[in-house]
Amino acid sequence: DGFAAARLFNQGYSYTYDDVIFLPHYIDFPTESVSLSTKLTRNIDLSIPCVASPMDTVSESSMAVSMAALGGIAIVHYNNTPSDQYSIIRSAKSRRIPFASDPIFKSPSDFIGSGDDFASSPCVFVTRNGDSKSELLGLVSRSNWAKSGEIGIRVGDCMEAVAAAGSSRYDFDQAASFLARNEVDWAPLVSGDDGEVVDVFSAEDVERIRGFPKLGLPSLGADGDFMVGAAMGTREEDKERLEHLVRAGANVVVLDSSQGNSIYQLEMIKYVKRRFPELDVIGGNVVTAYQAQNLIQAGVDGLRVGMGSGSICTTQEVCAVGRGQATAVYKVASIASQSGVPVIADGGISNSGHIVKALTLGASTVMMGSFLAGSNEAPGAYVIQDGRRVKKYRGMGSLEAMMKGSDARYLGDKSKLKVAQGVVGAVADKGSVLRFIPYTMHAVKQGFQDLGASSIQSAHELLRSSVLRLEIIVAFMLLESVYSFDLLKLIEIEL
């Protein structure tokens, strides 16, 4: 019944995830016993196969904190200055609780104009210069400000002392018991090194997080901090950026290119491995065995697979180059597995079924942009569009993102001519990744159970040994308009 992967993917057709379907196999274990623990790279283990894409509408510190807390990882984008990217990574790594809050700072001479200052925080922190770095003098709580009854009151005139401050090294349970012990509704979590307020943690947060499914093992580096990845380019100036990333404590770097099989990337892989032998390097993107082979020989520790498969991508339309993502993942993983190099299936994930397909076809993790972009943890504010709460999501090759600096990936140099290979859009509010990723992982486990695979490793083995069988989904409406019926017959015969 059905076809073995080796047969299906060697016919000269390019399949996307939606073109193929697995036939169910045999179940002899419960869903709960499916393990999704996996490898991001040769040396980095994750407890869930989820990676947040290095895009400026997806991965900054808030996403990095929550993805690591879930047992996945985020790759911080580099559409910024090296020092901005350094700060984002440091900010994620200085936290232990599973989310990043948004404390507000003012100086004593500033004014509190309206209740809007308390929209995202129960208080305003007062520091000497009104920034997070300068000396903490006190705070203005929402309730105290409301009691004062004055609209344009000066901060210095309604400031109170900080009653209880916890440590930014507290994990969630420690922070929760700190609030209970001190009988307060909220408290700042302060860094022991410089007294900087890192987070404001409240009883509401305790209730919210406890309402989410229980978190698995977080992704922690050897330093005990959350694991954070960072993207960089392959230009000469990226060597300078690399120094910042390593100083920030990045646990892995991703050389970010839509066509990774280039002399620039091969040389950068070798440079990074020479300069920091302990640092894992992910190369890509690739979609063919030939491209993958070159990067593996240069020494990559992980391979990112996908070209034009992302939801905001127009590379295939603009450049006529790419591959259907199911075929790309299968082909690259077949080669990479021989060298023990894990594969990241990048782009085109819009439901849990796509994750099951990517992992079963040989990927060890999936990298997601749009799937995570509408979450609370994605950068940017929600806006109302056609009556729906949405957040902006844009391709890093869109004109808008390139104007901010991401042209290295899509143009190769800072030439004046800019041709977009991506678009700008918006995605609906999905709430917190801390809630919807655990549900998604549960759905993936159910898919694995239907396939009779109790782990990602075992899915790979079942596929390789032709126990798992696939079929092509024939979308008739599409086929009628795109293919002649002669071609349809040919497909049948060849298969």
Q: Which is nearer to ligand XMP, 187 or 349 (CB)?
A: 349
DSSP 76-139: E--SS-HHHHHHHHHHHHT--SSS----EEE-TT-EE-SGGGGSS-SEEEEETTSSSSSPEEEE
Q: Mark residue 251 as left, alpha or beta (left: phi above 0; alpha: psi -120 to 50; beta: remaining).
A: alpha
Fill in the amino acid letter for 423. V
Among residues 315, 327, 334, 449, the one that binds ligand XMP under rule CB under 6 A: 315
Query: Which parts of 412-441 interact with ligand XMP (CB under 6 A)?
Result: 421-422
Query: What is the total residue count of the chain?
Result: 495
In angstroms, the CA 8 to CA 495 distance is 7
Cα 260 from chain centre: 20
Asked whether 380 and 405 are in contact (CB, 8 A), the reply is no
Minimum distance from residue 425 beta carbon to ligand XMP (Å): 9
- Asked if residue 374 binds ligand XMP (CB under 6 A), the reply is no
Smallest distance, ligand XMP to C-beta of residue 313, A = 3
Least distance in angstroms from the C-beta of 55 to ligand XMP: 6
Out of 229, 347, 374, 379, the residue judged to bind ligand XMP by CB under 6 A: 347
- Comparing CB distances to ligand XMP, the nearer of 229 and 397 is 397
Give the residue, chosen from 395, 408, 434, 449, that forms a contact with ligand XMP under the rule CB under 6 A.
395
Q: Establish whether 313 is a catalytic residue.
A: yes
The C-alpha R_g of the chain, in whole angstroms, comes to: 24
Sign of CA dihedral 381, 385, 388, 392: negative
Q: Which stretch binds ligand XMP (CB under 6 A): 5-13, 37-45, 179-187, 345-353?
A: 345-353
Does position 363 bind ligand XMP by CB under 6 A? no
Asked if 409 is an active-site residue, the reply is yes
Nearer to ligand XMP by Cβ, of 354 and 460: the residue is 354
Does residue number 283 form part of the binding site for ligand XMP (CB under 6 A)? no
- Which residue is catalytic, options 158, 169, 313, 323? 313
Cα 324 to chain center, whole Å? 22
CA proximity to 65, closest of 454, 376, 415: 376
**Using the rule CB under 6 A, is 356 a contact of ligand XMP?**
no
> Cα dihedral angle (168, 173, 177, 179), rounded to 10 degrees?
50
Q: Which of 22, 170, 371, 448 binds ligand XMP (CB under 6 A)?
A: 371
Question: Which residues are part of the catalytic machinery?
Answer: 313, 409
* Binding residues for ligand XMP (CB under 6 A): 53, 55, 258, 306, 308, 310-315, 346-349, 367-371, 395-398, 421-422
